[in-house]
Structure 1
């Protein structure tokens, strides 16, 4: 059955991402910590974790404008494979510590990431319809974020001392490099979708067009297709709807920086967490992963069956994510000292630091992030069904710009200021998403009423 082929494509895509990001997300989680330990062993090494991550997301943001053009020529599968190769190169760069190599590999990864994520959005859309998009987005997110388990569990047992030895670091780097290569190999065998599905009430698509499930013929080739794809992305970005959604995208980028690079490192730098605080860096990543997977499972895979919320369930999920994340930020504010993101500190927060509270905060951060991201994927896949490549590219552009800026200021501003920025952006992003999603639902229901009225009138006339 064609449905089974599409579903198996989603599973294969999810498993490939899971392996690649087992390596990358684990590395991002420990990068600041391990680079600090390398600097202690080799004072000539000047590489900085936050600078590396800032370069990644800056390059990702810039290249996202080129990604739709590249996909118009290569297609999503080639883009996904080439992008995953760049991730493997970045992980391998840690085997021979060099600041220049590290920053160069970071830029390469940023470019590859734009192709990987834009290709992912288009490929996921091509293998979904209006009934399965939410489910497929949830399945992808749950499997993808399970990458936080294995890698961080490995780190938890490897980094069990206050000082990370060189031999331990090398073993971790080799294992993560091997995982990234394995995931890249799997993504290289992605299959072509049986045919592209219509996701229903997509923007700018006529009713007649929506009845056709087959993809439109590719009349443009080469530079012409690439240039038109770039113009389409620019045009889409200036629409009122996308400008409002960009507030939500920006918040997810700031949150990504915090939970993937700042929060876990802050736990490891807080000496009051105890002698095993370095292992808590990995355990925090595991707890974030648990929250991500649970959120993806509940609000993604089960969304299509949650009839009590109706077919368009994005805004209630985002509201839930808002309050769960608000709890997490209050937890972090109370539990960690203001200078914990920078380096080892003997300071304490408003209460004595508690590893248990830190792990609860990690769970809440992961769950809240899943609430936002699963609904963004679902909404973009439905509203921009025929413009999936530029829509997902713009999502990643806004997210990456915010992440890059956040990684820059994370090296200079304390935890309290960072939490204040996150709170303001979360309020704006949540409000924007709810407004757009509710408006789409109302228009959709209005269209259905008009169609029903027209059909009723036709039947009466015939009678």
Structure 2
């Protein structure tokens, strides 16, 4: 296989591995609060919203050290270890215990930071300035298939159910745990690049100095990666990108843990309310895949290739959030097990709810495909620190956003996202400044 073919193979394996892991994890996050609400075990006092807040808060903080960890362990093994922790978190739901639930939330937060930093490093190592847009699109589209498969299973398994039994819960989460482990094992298929040599390494010197020298080199690389992360954080390009990146974190908060819970709480949707959680995730996935396939693959490093995609994402999310505001009851995120019979500004419509799911996914892909492409292009030599900063900025709003969800009666309208509407245009122009500088 040619060197270019080997790189493309690695990108595909990377995308497929993430697809399996996040088929399990995103489906888990989408139904976590609904499952917890239906638990009969009074000894369990966990909250899906609190768990997600812990995960994304720890993830954000851990991105400060994740480049150093990836430098020491290597991207491939880093992803394998992280995948194991993802599987452990999902397995907690088979027999929930409050202490295990929150402990796993902390561990997966650390693992997620390492996983995404290693992913960015692997993506950049297997791309150049001519293929980074294509490879970002391929990876993003494969990753978002996770929303299709996991949620399709939930939709079929929970169809016609208004209450989630213990048997239903165990069956779903055993299956999701196995799926996550499959994705973890697939990381071993990623092939190392023959010409890849870490900065500061000298082949003949390494052969002479042996293991002690190798250990010193790894520590030097870890320290250098940490210093580089701090330096990159204050560059003009990274500061401009941070505004848009933070917004994508708020959107992630909404559609990964809140919107599905809201749909499952609306009694006016009838006996389909629980299965519609899965269908909503499917439509989000369709939007994500469509955006990744079209905008990622067609994106070029030229300025005109990125700006229209970002502006389309702004418009699509405007429409989605305001339709949700009119369609869903305000108390849906905190409704009891019996659900809610309230009405917002229109009678809740399943069709409108699914349309909004699609628009959320499409808009999110507009932003993320371009962000991944920009980071890979601008920071090809410093991919691990750059992607760590990206995830740090993206996940901090997620960590802060989840605690607000059960506390605000108007949470469904997601004020964080709606109020952010006006500065959207400034975010778009911030992106344009980055393009101009690149």
Same fold (TM over 0.5): yes
Deviation at 1:51, TM superposition (A): 0.7
What CA deviation, in whole Å up to 9, does each residue of 1:328-378 have, x standing for no partner? 001101100111111221111100000011000000000000111000000
Query: Which of residues 389, 394, 404 is equivalent to 2:384?
Result: 389
Residue 400 (structure 1) aligns with: 395
Report how far residue 44 of structure 1 moved: 2.2
Name 2:188's counterpart in structure 1.
Answer: 188
CA distance in 1, matches of 2:421, 2:191: 37
Report the Cα offset of residue 418 of structure 1. Answer: 5.0
TM-aligned CA distance change 1:45 to 1:223, over 3 Å: same
Instruction: Please give the per-residue CA displacement for 1:4-49, whole angstroms capped at 9, x wherever unaligned.
Output: 11000000000000000000000011011011111xx112211111
Question: 1:224-271: per-residue Cα shift (whole Å, max 9, x none)?
Answer: 322221121111112232222211111111100101110111011111
- TM-score normalised by length of structure 2: 0.92
Q: CA deviation at 1:426?
A: 5.1
User: What's the secondary structure of 2:247's corresponding residue?
Assistant: helix
Checking the alignment, whether the CA contact within 8 Å between 1:5 and 1:194 is kept in structure 2 is no
Aligned to 1:379: 374
Which residue is equivalent to 2:311? 319
Partner residue in 2 for 1:349: 344
Separation of aligned partners in 2, 1:430 and 1:228: 36
Distance 2:423 2:84 in 1: 36
Q: Which secondary structure does the structure 1 equivalent of 2:189 belong to?
A: coil
Shift of 1:312: 5.4
- Whole-angstrom CA distance in 2 between matches of 1:193 and 1:93: 37
Unmatched runs of 5 consecutive residues or more in structure 2: 203-215
Distance (whole Å) between structure 2 residues aligned to residue 426 and residue 30 of structure 1? 27
Could you tell me which runs of 5 or more consecutive residues in structure 1 were left unpaired when the two chains were aligned.
Answer: 197-213, 445-463
**How many residues of Structure 1 are paired with residues of Structure 2 in the alignment?**
420
> How high is the TM-score relative to the length of structure 1?
0.87
2:170 corresponds to: 170
Report Cα offsets for 1:129-153 as digits up to 9, x if no partner. 1111111111111111001111111
| 1:23 to 2:30 alignment | no
Which of 224, 240, 248 aligns to 1:252? It is 248
- What residue in structure 1 maps to residue 201 of structure 2? 218
Partners of 1:234 and 1:11 in 2: CA distance: 31
| Superposed displacement of residue 216, structure 1 | 3.9
CA distance in 2: counterparts of 1:434 and 1:69, whole angstroms:
33
**Post-superposition shift, 1:71?**
1.5
Tell me what 1:267 maps to: 263
* Aligned residue among 417, 423, 432 for 2:427: 432
Q: How does 1:105-184 map to 2 (within 5 A)?
A: 105-160=104-159, 161-184=161-184
TM-superposed deviation, 1:411: 1.6
Distance 2:176 2:50 in 1: 21
Distance of aligned partners of 1:194 and 1:415 in 2 relative to their CA distance in 1, 3 Å threshold: farther
2-structure distance, mates of 1:51, 1:442: 40
Residue equivalent to 2:38 = 37
1:275/1:114 Cα in 2 relative to 1: closer, same or farther (>3 Å)?
A: same
Deviation by residue 1:169-221 (Cα, 9 ceiling, x = unmatched): 1100110011001110101332113445xxxxxxxxxxxxxxxxx76443762
Which residue of 2 is the match for residue 242 of structure 1?
238
Cα gap change, 1:266 to 1:218, in 2 (>3 Å):
same
SS at match of 1:146: helix
CA–CA separation in structure 2 for the residues paired with 1:271 and 1:286: 21
**In the alignment, is the contact (CA less than 8 A) between 2:124 and 2:376 conserved in 1?**
yes
